[in-house]
Structure 1
């Protein structure tokens, strides 16, 4: 049987990014790995993950949780550094 750790090791996102997608979507981390892999191979999927992180940053700022917004912003920067195709407008045209 494949463990969560095995799934995370095979995923193109970090464990922290996987956990954030799971929290955003209110799903398990196992389900988040499957969703991430689906999105990362679908047209517009990487941008959808970018949007999720941006929504979470906005929610943290609206809740006056600056520390969480900073953590999420660092997560977003790392995600975009590894996956520049996730920038809105990248590859569209």
Structure 2
């Protein structure tokens, strides 16, 4: 049987990126992992994932949670750096 950690190892995103998707979609992390792996393969999937993380950052700021917003900003930076197709989308 595969563990969550095994599945993360097979995914094109890291655990923090998966957690951000789980937070955004209000789903368990294993479901977010499946969604992430599906999205990352779509032509505009990286843009969709980036948008989710940005929305999580905005929500954290609106909820007066600057520590979580900072953590998510680091997740976003890592995600962009890990996906070179973002060179033209950096913000």
Superposition deviation, residue 73 in structure 1: 0.4
List alignment gaps of at least 5 residues for structure 2. Answer: none
Asked whether 1:66 is paired with 2:56, we answer no
- Do the aligned partners of 1:49 and 1:86 also contact (CA within 8 Å) in 2? no
Q: Counterpart in 1 of 2:49?
A: 49
- Give the structure 2 partner of residue 2 of structure 1: 2
Structure 1 segments, 4+ long, off by >6 Å, are none
RMSD between aligned residues = 1.7
Who is 1:28 aligned against? 28
2:57–2:69 CA contact under 8 A, matched in 1: yes
TM-score by length of 2: 0.88
| TM-score normalised by length of structure 1 | 0.86
